Amino acid sequence: MKIGFIGLGKMGYYMVRQLLAKGHEVVVFNRSPEPVRKISREHGAIPAASFEDLVKQLETPRIVWMMIPHPAVDATIGTLVRLLDAGDLLIDGGNSNYRETIRRAKELQASGIHYLDVGVSGGLAAAETGYCMMAGGPEEQFRRIEPAIRDMCVPGGYGHFGPYGAGHYVKMVHNAIEYGMMQAIGEGLDLIQNGPFPETDQIRLTDVWNHGSIIRSFLMEMTHLGLRHHPGLADVDGYVPNSGEGKWAVEDAKAYGVSMPVIEQSFRVRLDSDKIKTYATKAVAVMRDEFGGHGVERS
Ligand SMILES: NC(=O)c1ccc[n+]([C@@H]2O[C@H](COP(=O)([O-])OP(=O)(O)OC[C@H]3O[C@@H](n4cnc5c(N)ncnc54)[C@H](OP(=O)(O)O)[C@@H]3O)[C@@H](O)[C@H]2O)c1
């Protein structure tokens, strides 16, 4: 199928590369031009010089996928709504707040432009192995894009979970769970580092834990890699940014009367990590960098 794609960052670039490898035609636009040039030259994407150019190169009814940070979504839609036609489909694949997604979908209804929210998981490693995707919005619109989603995902790694906002909602909860799991791993290693056996080889331990233990996991693999890249976490500052989903999940839990102390506390630890830096927050910082390429502040 032919798809327009906006946002060739850490996620978008490799998602487009997967689509191209599976034989889809992808017209690409990015705020800065270099990724457009590179992916067109090296992988055969169709370059667009502007939003107008991108829309012009697609046949109606068009499909356009945005893979940009959530604060940039409203402005991008504001431009696209003047260029797209009724029947076109616009997809937000970034980590947007589901309440904003529902508002945007409703606003777009006036112009007849369809909307889908697709939460994407898998981080940098998914560039090679395939992504995991969670969609929300009208089922028939999901069916339109399903062949492309299937081609970007690991087998069995995608689904449609309900109306507008449902995809971003389950992605928000996914990230909130991630907060708790990462914090638990970090705290365990902190206890080993500062308990009675501080000489324990944590690089070896996390490798062993990844072979047959109950806590073996992708996050444990990322912890192992992080420890290898930052021995003893000595060069890591310990500040852990939060990108919104943890906060939104905690707010929603309060709004719906759901108790989630583990996730709430792991969010608070991140909030406070600009002042309170521990071995655990250092471990969380390197995990984030390993799976998402978010960078690590150096001590
Ligand atoms: N990294 C992850 O592990 C991960 C995982 C799942 C979902 N996500 C979500 O996926 C989306 C993209 O993430 P990413 O990691 O690919 O981010 P990224 O590497 O920072 O790339 C962001 C992309 O959006 C563009 N962009 C940034 N601000 C913009 C603006 N104001 N107007 C237009 N374009 C703008 C950037 O263009 P330039 O090249 O010009 O800067 C770049 O193409 C985000 O919503 C993120 O939350 C990320």
Q: If pLDDT is split at 50, 70 and 90, which confidence band does 159 have?
A: very high
Q: With a cut of 90, say whether residue 45 has pLDDT above it.
A: yes
Q: With a cut of 90, say whether residue 94 has pLDDT above it.
A: yes
Structure tokens at 239: 């500040």
Tally of domains in the chain: 2
Q: With a cut of 90, say whether residue 297 has pLDDT above it.
A: no
Q: If pLDDT is split at 50, 70 and 90, which confidence band does 162 have?
A: very high
The whole-number average pLDDT for the span 9-32 is 98
The parent domain of residue 85 ranges over: 2-163
Q: Which pLDDT score, from 0 to 100, does residue 46 have?
A: 98
The whole-number average pLDDT for the span 194-205 is 98
Q: Is the CB of 77 under 6 A from ligand 1?
A: no
On whether residue 283 sits in a domain, the answer given is yes
pLDDT in tens, 133-152: 999 999 999 999 999 999 99
Task: State whether 216 and 92 are in the same domain.
Answer: no
pTM of the prediction? 0.96
Q: With a cut of 90, say whether residue 121 has pLDDT above it.
A: yes
Task: State whether 134 and 238 are in the same domain.
Answer: no
Task: State whether 20 and 147 are in the same domain.
Answer: yes
Task: State whether 21 and 146 are in the same domain.
Answer: yes
- Of 136, 163, 190, which residue constitutes the final position of a domain? 163
Taking 3-state DSSP, the helix, strand and coil percentages for the chain, each rounded to the nearest 5, stand at 50, 15, 35
**Which residues are CB-neighbours of 135 under 8 A, at least 6 positions away?**
116, 117, 118, 119, 142, 149, 158, 159, 160, 161, 166, 167
Q: Is the CB of 8 under 6 A from ligand 1?
A: yes
Q: Which of 78, 169, 62 is nearest to 119 (CA)?
A: 169
Task: State whether 159 and 178 are in the same domain.
Answer: no
Q: Please, what is the average pLDDT of the chain?
A: 97
CA of 76 to the centre of ligand 1 (A): 13
On whether residue 73 sits in a domain, the answer given is yes
- Of 109, 128, 163, which residue constitutes the final position of a domain? 163
**Which residues are CB-neighbours of 119 under 8 A, at least 6 positions away?**
93, 95, 133, 134, 135, 167, 168, 170, 171, 172, 174
CA of 12 to the centre of ligand 1 (A): 7
- Give the count of beta carbons closer than 10 Å to the beta carbon of residue 229: 14
Q: Is the CB of 122 under 6 A from ligand 1?
A: no
- Atom of ligand 1 at shortest range from CA of 124: 3
Task: State whether 180 and 140 are in the same domain.
Answer: no
- Of 148, 163, 178, which residue constitutes the final position of a domain? 163
- 140-163 burial, b at 16+ Cβ within 10 Å, e below that, comes to ebbebbeebbebbbeeebbebbee
Task: State whether 143 and 192 are in the same domain.
Answer: no
